[in-house]
Amino acid sequence: MGALANIVVGILGAFIGGFLMTNVFGVQGVTGFNITSLLVAIGGAVVLLFLVGMVRRR
């Protein structure tokens, strides 16, 4: 994947991470710019990048 595709997938993953934290786990996922929000965004982005990488390999 190119750099632009990684950036787009990373941003979408951050949104998904925040959504999951709020709706599935019942915790505030993203509450502004702090360490918790940063970790949630990074976690969501990493998971989505991993899943996209697995799908593209096939």
pLDDT digits (tens, 9 = 90+) for 5-56: 888 988 898 888 888 888 888 887 677 788 888 888 888 888 898 888 899 8
pLDDT score for 7: 87
pLDDT score for 34: 86
For residue 13, give its domain range. Answer: 3-57
DSSP 8-56: HHHHHHHHHHHHHHHHTS-S----SSSHHHHHHHHHHHHHHHHHHHHHH
Q: How far apart are CA 18 and CA 55, in angstroms?
A: 23
pLDDT score for 55: 92
1 or 20, higher pLDDT: 20
pLDDT score for 24: 85
The residue among 42, 36, 35 whose CA lies nearest residue 16 is 42
Indicate the number of domains in the chain: 1
Q: How far apart are CA 37 and CA 6, in angstroms?
A: 20
